Amino acid sequence: MNVNVQDALNKALAAGQPCVLATVVAVAGAAPGKVSFKMLVMPDGKTIGTVGGGSLEAAAIRDALLILKSGQSALKTYDLEQIGMCCGGSATLFFDYYPAACTLLIFGGGHCGQALYKMAPSVGFRVLVYDNRPELQPQFSSSDFMLGDFDQLLLDNFPDAKLYAVIMTYNHQYDYTVLRQLLSGTKTFEYIGLIGSAHKVREIRQQLSSDNLTLPPNFYSPIGLNIGAQTPAEIAVAILGEIIAVIHNVKADFLGRQS
């Protein structure tokens, strides 16, 4: 694969962005692209690489954008004369669909955060841990740990993929500060969970009301499925179970919601 295309694909996957990689797998006649030519297509129509240019490439881009919407890889053969290329022949392209990665943001890298960080990748999550304590950094891969102030989140540094957030800092006020910023920011979250008691949730609802903010339907607190979890590892299992239920739109025995 062309180095530029490979680098672009790696960057897209690392950022959790969906994309389609179109590869020429067969040609006949005077097709402009050769077997193994590759082109990466992003959701905004931006491309890296080529499958030969001209009407073939234009058709491939249109089909790649449709594949991004359908979420299904596909094999397509183009009659070059039918798409307006006088060279004749045909070209077959394989469109490899790479979905947007689900990213779990964990605010708080304490014992429960560390347990959740270790488990979440096993069910397909890319995980980022955000904390203001530099001494915790050795507990995580350097690429997975974001050191920053809870009072001023580096929201622009978070990926534009499907985002799930778990708030479990070591301080009640930090928990509220993080939640308030997530609710008032420009990022969209599939799930926001906050660790704590029902009493804590009531207090937070009152604070949000004072700040003219309301809790969305995808807010879960107390967090986790009702499985009697006690240890950090058990709490991580309960949280992941709840998130998986949300992903699959399955009603489960939730420990608590915003009510």
State the pLDDT at residue 158.
Answer: 81
State the pLDDT at residue 258.
Answer: 42
Cα–Cα distance between 166 and 161 in angstroms, integer?
A: 16
Q: Are strands 38-41 and 189-194 parallel, antiparallel or unpaired?
A: unpaired
80 Cβ contact list (under 8 Å, min separation 6)? 29, 30, 31, 55, 56, 87, 88, 89, 90, 91
pTM above 0.75, yes or no: no
Cα–Cα distance between 245 and 173 in angstroms, integer?
A: 29
- Most distant pair of Cα atoms in the chain: their distance: 73
3-state secondary structure labels for all residues of the chain: CCHHHHHHHHHHHHCCCCEEEEEEEEEECCCCCCCCCEEEECCCCCEEECCCCHHHHHHHHHHHHHHHHHCCCEEEEEECCCCCCCCCCEEEEEEEEECCCEEEEEECCCHHHHHHHHHHHHHCEEEEEEECCHHHHHHCCHHHEEECCCCCCCHHHCCCCEEEEEECCCCHHHHHHHHHHHHHCCCCEEEEEECCCHHHHHHHHHHHHHCCCCCCCCEECCCCECCCCCCHHHHHHHHHHHHHHHHCCCCCCECCCCC
pLDDT tens per residue across span 45-80: 999 999 999 899 999 999 999 999 999 999 999 998
Q: Domains in the chain and their CATH numbers? A: 3-98 (no CATH), 102-247 (3.40.50.720)
CA 51 to chain CA centroid, nearest Å: 28
From first to last of its 259 residues, the chain has per-residue pLDDT tens of 666 999 999 888 877 789 999 999 999 987 888 999 999 999 999 999 999 998 999 999 999 999 999 999 999 999 988 888 776 789 999 999 998 878 999 999 999 999 999 999 998 898 999 999 999 999 999 989 999 999 999 887 787 678 999 999 999 999 999 999 999 888 889 999 999 888 888 888 888 888 888 888 999 998 999 889 999 999 999 999 999 999 888 876 555 444 3
